[in-house]
Amino acid sequence: MKKTTTRLADGRELLYYDSRDDVVRDAVDRRPLDAVATSAELRRDPLLGDTVAVASHRQGRTYHPPADECPLCPSRDGRLSEIPAADYDVAVFENRFPSLAGDAGRCEVVCFTSDHDASFADLSPEQAGLVLDAWTDRTAELSQLPGVEQVFCFENRGKEIGVTLGHPHGQIYAYPFTTPRTELMLRSLAEHRERTGGNLFDDVLADERADGRRIVLAGEHWTAYVPYAAHWPYEVHLYPNRRVPDLLGLDEDARREFPQVYLELLKRFDRIFGEGEPRTPYIAGWHQAPFTAADRGEFALHLELFTVRRTSGKLKFLAGSESGMSVFINDVPPESAAQRLREVASQ
């Protein structure tokens, strides 16, 4: 992998990740951009103890532009975009409309491919491996920024999720705090250790592998399963079989196998509802240990993938119980979801 760092016209950082070492990235951003002005701030809820990001500048962000005006495509044929090069493998840049900025963190955009009409599932194993390298490098770099506590690499796909740009891309949030979801995991981890002396992540993974009913894919170095208490109709958790706290801890064998396992998983997601259905909307995100957590070595890196579609043509809405009280109601038994995902193995 070759990494090239440059700047956009307004001073934001842009990074190219290339599979070839001889690629030269010297294209200049020729857009007349004003300096980025953000108003992101963090406010703590005194009742719940969680944090809300207030970012009013995001009201003006790009919203469903036509394909020939996509800001994530390469700059070519006289059209200038966020990426000055005429082509690229993987590109990462600071978000022009960040939810987190300055002392409140940092947000980046990750473009998986220059092909506007592709999806992550369409990438080759080599391309997916390069994205994994980019995620890992950004986790390492962002961990060095003052105040950054946790890095979250994720992808939203589909208008049903709220995606406003159709180009295949994801995001990276560098939070200056430990997120509420991770706090709950760390609490459960500590309680399990005190009660049993074991590691909660290891024991859950071992139980799922022994039970087998909710296993979707089992590789030499990775296991994908539908959790026993899945919140979403189709939800899969992907774990390396050897526990590591973050992407930097993956060994070469796990890194080598990941693209095959993850691409197969995404292809199966696209087949859940039948060949005639639009591609399945989903959210996929890496859960990594906070950098200063006392027991970060006990935390297990994993990826969580789920869709908001519950059946053909119908979405799972977070209504009263889910939105009001955080009590999920799942219409699809996890065992049935796992069986369906096993049945739709890609051809």
Strand order in the sheet with 222-225: 2-7, 13-18, 90-94, 106-111, 169-175, 150-157, 282-287, 302-307, 234-240, 222-225, 215-218
Q: Which of 274, 263, 285 is nearest to 217 (CA)?
A: 263
Q: What is the CA radius of gyration of the chain?
A: 20
Give the pair of three-digit tokens for residue 253. 């064998």
**Helix/strand/coil for 314:** strand
Q: Which of 238, 236, 227, 246 is nearest to 301 (CA)?
A: 246
Determine the distance from the C-alpha atom of residue 274 to the mean position of all C-alpha atoms in its chain, rounded to a whole number. 25
Give the pair of three-digit tokens for residue 304. 């969580």
Cα distance between residue 134 and residue 17, in whole Å = 7
Q: How many CA atoms lie within 13 A of 138 on its CB side?
A: 33
Active-site residue list: 169
Helices (H) and strands (E) in the chain, counts: 6, 15
